[in-house]
Each structure stands twice: as structure tokens, then as C-alpha cells.
Amino acid sequence: MSEFVVSKASNLAKYLELPQKGKVIAEYVWIDGSNGLRTKGRTLDKKPESVDELPEWNFDGSSTEQAPGHDSDVYLRPVAIYDDPFRRGDNIIVLAECWNADGTPNKKNHRYACNKLMEAHKDADTWFGIEQEYTLFDEYGSPYGWPKGGFPGPQGPYYCGVGTGKVYARDVIEAHYRACLYAGINISGINAEVMPSQWEFQVGPSAGIAMGDELWMARYLLERVAEEFGVKVSFHPKPLSEGDWNGAGCHTNVSTAPMREKGGMKDIEAAIEKLSKRHAEHIGVYGEDNDKRLTGKHETASIANFSYGVANRGCSVRIPRPVAKVGYGYFEDRRPASNIDPYLVTGIMVETICGAIPEVDMVKEAVRE
Ligand code: ADP
Ligand code: MN
Ligand code: MN
Ligand code: MN
């Protein structure tokens, strides 16, 4: 197996110091045809004040599973701007939506539909916090830091672990944390996970559409940082199918304005009741291969049934103990897999809790071609 070619930061550093003569670099980032990320850079004459000042752009969609070769132009419409932790200075990263030439949203542009729901239910002021779990792999395809051709000791010492042999790749995680803060991502924390070389970061609370935007950008920064360390990121919900190893999820914490106020528990319970009636439909948008993760073992509930409970990590939905104690706050949906599109998950959440709108159907949106 070939080794990764890792660029040497020491060689790059002196070029990063070169003056840009007033020009600004904008790196446009978008979601491709298979939930991956793509990016390309362009020069601007000045730093834009808002997304409206940014040019629309396009790319060859036939190379990204996003368009046929005979009609390959896909358009990039800027929707959010972040400070660029790699190039720094006035340079920026731009999150863009993908649009087809005929004026329809590209097949994986689920942000457009999600945003319609968020706009329609603005008054609910829905906040989300997503716990992104992921696994790091080395160039030989083993989880990063695992013994060559073998396995580390059983799970137990790794969750929030400290010390050699109990935690892997802390440098990658620290670099990513700092990059997110610099970019302006509302990253709320990090922790090592139950399986060695599995980690989690949390983004939120973020309101409405910003949740999806910030989670995608945090994933981009992670891929980009890990690339510099020669480490591979996997968002697969069950990266190791053999053996007693935890899967990876994207627990989604949710609150509407009434849930956050005194007496909000009745709104939390009403929302959970609504979720229970659409279990199968929610599972349908909660990520691929999630059946391999939601087994009823490893701190998950079975994919077949909906359940909820206070402080119970074996349920589909958990009400945190402190929330039950004070009687208001938020709930946690533990079902979403690590490979979700957060626009689909936050979208269907608002659709279910606040009500459907005529022009959007998140179940159909998830399978739209
Ligand atoms: P866990 O105990 O499940 O590991 P974490 O601390 O990892 O929980 O994540 C909790 C998440 O909930 C954080 O992302 C946090 O921002 C989010 N959160 C906190 N309060 C709210 C709220 N009122 N509404 C939505 N999300 C919230
Ligand atoms: Mn967590
Ligand atoms: Mn976790
Ligand atoms: Mn959680």
C-alpha cells in the first residue's frame, strides 16, 4: 500500500508570509454528489462585507457526480463567509449552495429546502447542538495509532482518556479546535470517544440554518487539518463492523423558544410525542448504514423502535437530567448517524415539531435526484 504524501508545513510557511498586494483569496466550499466536500479558490479585489458582494461561480459537475457531461455546469451561490485559518489575513472561506442551470437546486443541495422551513418557523427560534463523532485512520487503513496488524485493549480507558496508549492524535484535534474558533464556528467542545482514535466535537447552540452551515464548515476544517497531518477522517457510523467497538453518531440537541422557558417541559414532551409518530421517516433521513450502528448495544437504541427517557443513553431520545430537574431546556435525539446531512436532520426536526409547509417535504427531499 502506498503512503500518503504529506505536505511539509515548514516549506509552505515562508510563502504564507508573502504580501498579497491588496488581493484576497476566497476558497469556495460545496457539498458534492456523495456527501463529500469540494473546494476551489479564486482571487478577489477586496474583502467582501457580506455574501451579497461575492460573485456567483460555477464548476464542472460531471467530475463530482453532480451533473451529466453534456450539461455539466453547476452554479455556486455563496451563503456564508468564514475567516480562513490556513491563509489568514483578509482571506476567507465561502460556503456555497449548488444550483443547476435550469434554476433548480442541485440534488444534494438540501440547504435550500431546510432554509424554507427555518424561515417559515422563524418565531420558534429553534436552536440545535450537534455532537459530531468521527474516526481517524492511518495511511494503511487501520484506525490511527492502533498496533500494526492488531488491536488495542478493549474499550474502557479511551473515552475522555488521558495518557499514552489511551488517547490518539490529540494534536490533530487541538489544531482543528483552534481552526474552528479562528474561523468563527460556534464550536462548543471536544472529547475523545469510547473507541480509541474516535473523537467528537460539538457545534452549537446554533439557530436555524446556521447549524447546518457551521457543521459542514467544521467538517471541512477537520478534513483540511487532518490532510496536513496525513490522517484520514471517516464519518462512517460503524467504521469497524467486527469486534466490540462503538459506532459514531451525530446526536442532535434541539430546543424551541418555548422549551427554553419556565414550564418548557410540556413543549419538550409534546415534541417527543410528535417524533415518536414519525420514527421510520426520521430514520430515513438520519444517515446511511445507520442500521449497523443502531443495534441496541453500545449506547444506542434499536433502529426498530422509538423510545425516550430521562438520562437514558439507551433510548432514541434522551432528556438530560439537568433539564428534567429544572423543568425546561432541550432534548437530545441520539438516532442521527455521524454521516448525516445536518440540513436534512434539522429540517425534518422543524417540519415535525413546528409543522409542515406546502412547498417542502423533507422525506422526499432526502431522496430527490
Ligand atoms: P452529551 O452529554 O450528550 O455528550 P454534549 O455536551 O456533547 O452532550 O453536547 C450537548 C450539546 O447540546 C452541545 O452542542 C450544546 O451546545 C447543545 N445545547 C445546549 N443547550 C442547548 C439548547 N437549549 N438547545 C439546543 N442545543 C443545546
Ligand atoms: Mn457528547
Ligand atoms: Mn459522544
Ligand atoms: Mn450526546
Please state which of the ranges 176-185, 209-218, 299-308, 349-358 shows the lowest mean pLDDT.
Answer: 299-308
pLDDT for position 62: 87
- Whose cell is 466550499? That residue is 29
- In the chain, what are the domain boundaries? 21-108, 118-366
Looking from the CA of residue 204, the nearest atom of ligand 1 is 16
Q: Does the pLDDT of residue 354 top 70, yes or no?
A: yes
Q: Are 151 and 243 in contact (CB under 8 A)?
A: yes
Q: Does the pLDDT of residue 18 top 80, yes or no?
A: yes
What is the pTM for the complete model shown? 0.97
The hierarchical CATH code for the domain 118-366 is 3.30.590.10
Looking at residues 158-170, what average pLDDT do you find?
94
Q: Does the pLDDT of residue 9 top 70, yes or no?
A: no
Q: Tell me the three state secondary structure of residue 30.
A: strand
Centroid of ligand 3 to alpha carbon of 176 (angstroms):
17
pLDDT classification of 67: cutoffs 50, 70, 90: confident
Ligand that lies nearest to the alpha carbon of residue 248, given by its number in the listed order = 3
Centroid of ligand 4 to alpha carbon of 334 (angstroms):
7
Q: Is the CB of 128 under 6 A from ligand 1?
A: yes
Looking from the CA of residue 334, the nearest atom of ligand 1 is 3
For ligand 1, pick from 125, 131, 185 the residue to mutate: most ligand atoms within 8 Å of CB. 131
pLDDT classification of 68: cutoffs 50, 70, 90: confident
Ligand that lies nearest to the alpha carbon of residue 202, given by its number in the listed order = 1
Q: Are 337 and 251 in contact (CB under 8 A)?
A: no
* Closest by Cα among 246, 262, 263, 264 to 254: 264
Hey, what CATH topology would domain 21-108 get?
A: Ubiquitin-like (UB roll) (3.10.20)
Set of cell numbers at residue 86: 490556513
